[in-house]
Amino acid sequence: MAKLYFKFGAMDSSKTANALMTRFNYMEKGKKVWLIKPATDNRDGTTILKSRIGLQAEADVIAATDSIIERCPEGIDVIICDECQFLTPEQVDDLRVIVSEKHIPVLCFGLRADFQTHLFPGSRRLFELADSITEIKSICRCGAKATVNARFDEKGYVCVDGDQVVIGGNDVYEGVCWSCWHDMVVNHKSRYE
């Protein structure tokens, strides 16, 4: 039975590596994989999915105005979506319909929340609709479980406001525990008081 899967984690939890390893496993079994990513994720090039450990593959790019149902190729066995937090809620609805009506499993990998600990719209909808929700765990610099995606400015200070989406990797973000993030926010605010 096909399911909609949401596999989420903080920055540095190897979400993209997991997506690409899953793709490899399906392809090794002779399955046709449709690898997709939202157009918002242009960090490694428009059509490239690249993990920090060096795995990479070409992916179809989904624009915010695209219907995934209309873009879905015939004859595929599975859909794997990386950076799913950038999907629109309507696109997540499309994935749910594909699972239910076409009986194609969909595996979504992405962030749960932004640098201010607010859910991304795509992630929120996946929490509402997914059949299976799994956390991909990583650790904070202190050794605790990382749950927050801390964003840093060019001087290395934690950001407390700004646009929800700023594309970046280890140069901009770090997965940290809530306590370390809270301490950084308090320290940031004290600089301006």
CA distance 187 to 169: 23
Question: At 100, which CATH number?
Answer: 3.40.50.300
CA distance 158 to 190: 12
| Confidence check: pLDDT of 91 > 90 | yes
Looking at per-residue pLDDT, the higher value among 163 and 47 belongs to 47
Give a yes or no: residue 143 inside a domain.
no
Of 135, 159, 183, the residue that ends a domain is: 135
Give a yes or no: residue 53 inside a domain.
yes
Of the listed ranges 10-14, 102-106, 154-158, the least confidently predicted one is 154-158
Q: Say how many domains are in the chain.
A: 2
CA distance 49 to 58: 6
Could you read off the pLDDT of 31-42 as tens digits, one per residue? 999 999 999 876
Evaluate the CA torsion angle 168, 121, 110, 51 in order and state its sign.
negative
Catalytic residue among 28, 58, 70, 83: 83
Is 193 known to be catalytic?
no
Domain ranges, residue 160: 148-191
| Confidence check: pLDDT of 127 > 90 | yes
Could you read off the pLDDT of 131-167 as tens digits, one per residue? 999 999 999 999 999 999 998 888 888 888 777 876 6
Same domain, 159 and 81: no
Nearest to 150 by CA among 104, 113, 121: 113
Could you read off the pLDDT of 163-174 as tens digits, one per residue? 787 666 567 889
